[in-house]
Amino acid sequence: MLVLGIETSCDETAAAIVERRRDGSARIVADVVLSQIDEHAIFGGVVPEIAARAHVEALDDVVAAAMREAGIGFAGIDAVAATAGPGLIGGLIVGLTTARAIALAAGKPLVAVNHLEGHALTARLTDGIAFPYLLLLVSGGHTQFLSVEGVGRYRRLGTTLDDALGEAFDKAAKLLGLPHPGGPAIEQAAKRGNGERFALPRPLIDRPGADFSFSGLKTALRLAAEAIAPLSESDVDDLAASFQAAVVEVVANRAAHAMTSFAADHAGAATLVIAGGVAANQALRTALAAEAGRHGFRLVAPPLRLCSDNAAMIAWAGAERVALGLLADAGMAARPRWPLDSASEPMLGSGAKGAKA
């Protein structure tokens, strides 16, 4: 089965074609991602109107490039999948409308995909892992532990009470005068810095449960920076390193709690998957691998290119749904908010303020 996927929920315009074989194995046939980062950089974040316009201008070419890369026409695909939410409404409408038009014209089914489900199922595309597994999704708009029990079956074990982790990285970078997106900039600066110079708080560490909070850490970073301003380059490096050290320690601690609670419900299942843009952070990966090892879990981390936003994950989520006959309502409208675990109430402010929310 060949599925065309389209992703336009934030600042990447992406199209991909993924093959799903009868045995459940997968192959990425074409994968095109056009980043709008340069268009938003001078604003220090993603500007929704600019993003929507850029998607309109680029999407036709991006889809055509993916089809060319695959060497097929629309007649050769079996379904069209597009991100219908959560994300910036303008971009979502552009992607979903384009997908609907292609599906109608080519007489193929349309699958409306939840962007978070795309991230959640990526490890099955890349590593073919079986359900159930524990997922840590850390991106610019989302920070949550999910028990992934099947396609469309997710239970949230923890989430952020305020900022998403990627958002915290981005705000910390802005505060230190580092470029956007902040995550990679902080990681680079942290490599040169001393992570023990500033004693920043570890919010919620050792508290029961697997929730996160980052706003107090961000405030502490600001106060530490203000206390020694003006900042030299090595001050910035030390602040970045101290911030990242706090984050990594907190995430490893929360992961320990999440693994204990997941293991209690799923005897024998012991896989921790990380996904989302922040999963690119090497210090975080190393700490999570160690923590997973201590709990008898193995850590699965998709390749960096598939951790950040892309359309292969949307095509794959679409293929998983088509294979099970789980087609969401094809007339569905784009949804800025769309929690994966509908039984869990959104926490106040969770992921609501991020550039990617």
183 binds, among ligand KG4, Zn ion, none (CB under 5 to 8 A by kind): ligand KG4
Q: Which does 278 bind (CB under 5 to 8 A by kind): ligand KG4, Zn ion, none?
A: ligand KG4
Beta partners for residue 147, in sequence order: 134, 155
Binding of residue 19 to Zn ion (CB under 5 A) = no
State the Cα angle at 203 between 198 and 209, rounded to 5°. Answer: 150
Q: Is 139 in the site for Zn ion (CB under 5 A)?
A: yes
The answer to whether residue 271 forms part of the interface with Zn ion (CB under 5 A) is: no
Asked if residues 203 and 217 have their Cβ atoms less than 8 Å apart, the reply is yes
Q: Which is closer to ligand KG4, CB of 108 or CB of 115?
A: 115
Cβ neighbours around 259 below 10 Å, total: 23
Pick from 182, 193, 195, 302 the residue near ligand KG4 by CB under 6 A.
Answer: 182
Q: Which is nearer to ligand KG4, 79 or 245 (CB)?
A: 245
Which helix H or strand E contains 283, and what residues bound it? Answer: helix 282-294
* Strand ranges for the chain from DSSP E: 2-7, 12-20, 26-35, 79-85, 110-114, 133-138, 143-150, 153-159, 271-275, 298-300
**Smaller CB distance to ligand KG4: residue 14 or 224?**
14
Cβ-contact 221, 201 below 8 angstroms: no
For position 351 contacting ligand KG4 by CB under 6 A, the verdict is no
* CB of 140 vs Zn ion, minimal distance in Å: 7
Tokens of 70: 């695959």
Q: Report if residue 117 touches Zn ion, rule: CB under 5 A.
A: no
Nearer to Zn ion, 28 or 306 (CB): 306
* CA-to-CA dists, residue 314 to 83, 136, 240, 275, angstroms: 7, 18, 33, 14
Binding site for Zn ion (CB under 5 A): 139, 309
Binding site for ligand KG4 (CB under 6 A): 10, 139-141, 166, 169-170, 181-184, 187, 276-278, 280-281, 308-309, 356
